[in-house]
């Protein structure tokens, strides 16, 4: 009695112990890998310190060179002050945060602090320095020489410390990886043991479940034999038992069917599906058939039965089968009605869900649009404003000492920045007018070749260094129906974009051709779209690709160009079959095929 209990406990305890070992090894491996990964990360302060030291050393050398040029009288005004300010800012970076802690650890913080105390003397000497004053320049070089030597030594010590730290981390990581590999082998062994145990347990469970299900099914049929329609058959398929419920269901008395072939009880038992179920039951299997149609007479409506066929055992032999019939007509009708109602509810829920998803998507899109627009406007407006502010501050501080040419140059920069800011505002307002439907289109018959030639000439004036090649068919192109002002705006935008993103020294290609009822103008430049730029989003409002950094704009030029083209009954698209080129194609309707006033399509709102 004790041995079976002990064996049962071992059967349960061993898998649990294996699982516990598995999880312990797994957790320890994950923790060790996390620690190894953490140890392998390079500390940012080392790299920052080396960068700051190198920048400070470079600034000191440039300041020393500027001192020599000033003494020789070859340095432009203001350059010496800029080099001095750069050096002071680089030294300030080393006096705070992790850089200061690293310098303290290396023992150079005190030396640099001593030099910072000499900064007022350095500033005084720089103010005294004039062309030809070699003695003052020598004093400045004497002040800068200790700093340069200290920075060189500090950089060397920081690099050596970083190499030593990296070597320690690599050695610790190797040890950690060896431990992880050892525990992974343990995980594999524990997993293999668990797999074998689970396979054996699954086989035993399935066999026991099968035996239990057979015994349970047989017992349920015996218990419910008096309440359901039950027919028993022998191996020859002759009816041996027919209870009263079967008599009422099939309309045949028991004395007329007992001993007769099963097909005489009802035509249902001659159906191929039911015959195969009987064969399975006589072979020792349980067979269940759902929703089998049954007609008591030719003009009677069908009824639906659920048939359960189970073998009858006598010891180890099968002596027959028992067929239990359940009338499921009303259940089927109720299920059909419930299914129809459920489908209707599902359709309603799906429709409402689609509406809510669409509303949520629109809300998210609007929020993302406004967020991107605000960030882009803030960035694009800040640059020209910073240029204007810088130029004005320079004029205010040093106006009396600046030459007329320098004043004219800085004033010109400020005016260019103001013009750029006005252009950004006008582009934003044009997009708002376009969305509000306030952009008027006055169509008339025009020569697209002439409009393209004018746009190319305007672009040549703006970028004289860029070659523009205009290709017009020898037999010319038919006139188009368009608004010449808006068409000039579209072509100008395409040429400006092509000139902005084309590689230096490459020409712009402009070609005209007829395509069916439209005349196409293709504007292309050499190169390719930058990696990560989605062609499908090029015409979206405020979309700017990764290659647009450093170029002014708010990302509405192509959106407005396509919208204006569609307002005129045309189209603007990106041509994808020109390798090595980025080509945009403007298509406008031919004048003889265009209506006098083509209807303006509805534009997408910004919300």
DSSP letters along 539-594, please?
Answer: TSTT---GGGTTS---S-HHHHHHHHHHHTT-EEEEE-S-TTEEEEEEEEEBGGGS
Q: How far apart (Å, rounded) are the C-alpha atoms in residues 268 and 6?
A: 56
Q: How far apart (Å, rounded) are the C-alpha atoms in residues 568 and 98?
A: 62
pLDDT of amino acid 421:
62
pLDDT of amino acid 256:
82
Say whether pLDDT at 151 is over 50.
Answer: yes
Query: Do 86 and 52 meet the contact criterion of CB atoms below 8 Å apart?
Result: no
| Burial profile 453-473: b = 16 or more Cβ within 10 angstroms, e = fewer | bebbeebbeebeebebebebe
Per-residue pLDDT averaged across 364-377, rounded? 57
Say whether pLDDT at 219 is over 60.
Answer: no
Pick from 141-150, 354-363, 390-399, 452-461: least confident: 390-399
Task: Give per-residue pLDDT as tens, 503-536.
Answer: 888 999 999 999 889 999 999 998 887 666 667 7
pLDDT of amino acid 89:
79
Please provide the average confidence, as pLDDT, over all residues in the chain: 75
Q: Which helix (H) or strand (E) holds 196?
A: helix 134-223
Task: Give per-residue pLDDT as tens, 121-142.
Answer: 777 877 777 787 778 778 777 7
Per-residue pLDDT averaged across 578-593, rounded? 85
| β 518-526/508-515 pair status | antiparallel
Pick from 327-336, 484-493, 518-527, 560-569: least confident: 327-336
Say whether pLDDT at 120 is over 60.
Answer: yes
Per-residue pLDDT averaged across 274-296, rounded? 85
pLDDT of amino acid 455:
87
| Beta carbons within 10 angstroms of residue 400's beta carbon | 6
Per-residue pLDDT averaged across 415-435, rounded? 60
- Say how many CA atoms lie within 13 Å of 306 toward its Cβ: 10
Which residues are registered as beta bridge partners of 169?
none
216 or 404: which leads in pLDDT: 404
CA angle 561, 567, 573 (to 5 degrees): 45
Query: Do 413 and 387 meet the contact criterion of CB atoms below 8 Å apart?
Result: yes
Q: Max Cα separation, the chain?
A: 139
pLDDT of amino acid 507:
92
Q: To the nearest whole percent, how much of the chain has pLDDT over 70?
A: 75
Per-residue pLDDT averaged across 149-163, rounded? 76
pLDDT of amino acid 149:
75
Task: Give per-residue pLDDT as tens, 286-310.
Answer: 888 887 887 777 677 778 888 888 8
Per-residue pLDDT averaged across 537-565, rounded? 66
Cα 285 to the chain's mean position, in Å? 54
243 or 38: which leads in pLDDT: 243
Query: Do 474 and 515 meet the contact criterion of CB atoms below 8 Å apart?
Result: no
Q: Is 299 helix (H, G, I), strand (E, B) or coil?
A: coil
pLDDT of amino acid 223:
37
480 or 131: which leads in pLDDT: 480
Q: How far apart (Å, rounded) are the C-alpha atoms in residues 220 and 603?
A: 70
Query: Do 492 and 454 meet the contact criterion of CB atoms below 8 Å apart?
Result: no
| Beta carbons within 10 angstroms of residue 110's beta carbon | 11
Q: How far apart (Å, rounded) are the C-alpha atoms in residues 332 and 290?
A: 10
pLDDT of amino acid 480:
93
Pick from 156-170, 346-360, 578-592: least confident: 156-170
Q: 148 is written with which tokens?
A: 């340069």
Q: How far apart (Å, rounded) are the C-alpha atoms in residues 24 and 501?
A: 58
CA distances from 377 to 388, 401, 502 (A): 17, 36, 25
Say whether pLDDT at 605 is over 50.
Answer: no
Per-residue pLDDT averaged across 411-432, rounded? 62
Say whether pLDDT at 538 is over 60.
Answer: yes
By residue count, the chain amounts to 607
Pick from 233-237, 583-587, 598-602: least confident: 598-602
Contacts of residue 245, defined as CB under 8 A and 6 or more positions apart, other chains included, come to 226, 227, 228, 229, 230
Say whether pLDDT at 281 is over 90.
Answer: no
pLDDT of amino acid 602:
41
384 or 540: which leads in pLDDT: 540
pTM given for the model: 0.35
pLDDT of amino acid 159:
77
């Amino acid at each position: 009695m004790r041995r079976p209990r002990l064996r049962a406990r071992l059967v349960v305890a061993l898998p649990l112990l294996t699982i516990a070992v598995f999880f312990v090894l797994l957790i320890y491996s994950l923790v060790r890998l996390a620690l190894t990964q953490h140890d392998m990360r390079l500390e940012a302060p080392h790299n920052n310190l080396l960068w700051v030291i190198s920048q400070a050393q470079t600034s000191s050398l440039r300041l020393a060179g500027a001192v020599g040029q000033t003494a020789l009288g070859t340095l432009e005004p203001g350059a010496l002050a800029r080099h001095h300010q750069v050096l002071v800012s680089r030294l300030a970076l080393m006096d705070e945060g992790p850089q200061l802690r690293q310098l303290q650890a290396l023992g150079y913080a005190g030396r640099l602090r001593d030099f910072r105390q000499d900064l007022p003397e350095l500033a005084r000497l720089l103010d005294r320095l004039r062309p030809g004053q070699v003695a003052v320049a020598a004093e400045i070089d004497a002040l800068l020489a200790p700093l340069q030597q200290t920075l060189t030594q500090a950089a060397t010590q920081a690099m050596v410390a970083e190499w030593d730290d990296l070597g320690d981390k690599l050695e610790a990581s190797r040890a950690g990886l060896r431990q992880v590999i050892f525990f992974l082998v343990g995980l594999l062994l524990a997993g293999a043991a668990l797999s074998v145990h689970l396979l054996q347990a699954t086989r035993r469970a399935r066999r026991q479940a099968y035996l239990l299900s057979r015994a349970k099914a047989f017992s349920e049929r015996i218990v419910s034999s008096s309440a359901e329609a039950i027919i028993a058959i022998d191996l020859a398929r002759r009816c041996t038992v027919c209870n009263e419920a079967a008599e009422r269901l099939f309309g045949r008395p028991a004395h007329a069917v007992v001993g007769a072939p099963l097909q005489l009880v009802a035509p249902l038992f001659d159906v191929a599906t039911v015959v195969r179920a009987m064969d399975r039951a006589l072979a020792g299997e349980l067979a269940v058939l759902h929703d089998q149609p049954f007609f008591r007479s030719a003009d009677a409506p069908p009824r639906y039965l659920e048939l359960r066929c189970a073998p009858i055992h006598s010891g180890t032999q099968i002596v027959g089968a028992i067929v239990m019939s359940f009338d499921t007509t009303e259940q089927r009708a109720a299920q059909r009605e419930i299914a129809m109602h459920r489908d209707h509810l599902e359709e309603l829920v799906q429709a409402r869900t689609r509406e809510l998803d669409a509303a949520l998507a629109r809300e998210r899109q609007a929020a993302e649009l406004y967020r991107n627009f605000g960030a882009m406007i803030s960035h694009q407006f800040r640059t020209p404003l910073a240029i204007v502010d810088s130029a004005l501050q320079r004029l205010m501080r040093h106006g009396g000492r600046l030459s007329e040419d320098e004043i004219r140059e800085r004033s010109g920069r400020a005016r260019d920045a103001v013009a750029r800011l006005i252009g950004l505002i006008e582009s934003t307002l044009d997009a708002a007018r376009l969305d509000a439907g306030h952009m008027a289109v006055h169509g008339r018959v025009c020569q697209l070749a002439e409009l393209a030639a004018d746009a190319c000439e305007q672009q040549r004036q703006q970028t004289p260094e860029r070659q523009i090649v205009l290709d017009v068919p020898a037999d010319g192109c038919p006139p188009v129906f368009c608004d010449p002002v808006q068409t000039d705006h579209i072509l100008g935008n395409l040429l400006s974009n092509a000139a902005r993103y084309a590689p230096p020294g490459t020409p712009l290609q402009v070609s005209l051709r007829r395509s069916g009822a439209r005349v196409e103008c293709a504007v292309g430049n050499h190169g390719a779209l930058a990696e990560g730029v989605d062609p499908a989003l090029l015409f979206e409002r405020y979309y700017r690709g990764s290659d647009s950094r450093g170029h002014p704009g708010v990302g509405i030029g192509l959106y407005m160009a396509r919208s204006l083209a569609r307002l005129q009954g045309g189209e603007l698209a990106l041509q994808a079959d020109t390798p090595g080129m980025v080509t945009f194609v403007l298509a406008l309707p031919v004048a003889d095929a265009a209506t006098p006033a083509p209807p303006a399509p509805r534009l997408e709102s910004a919300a």
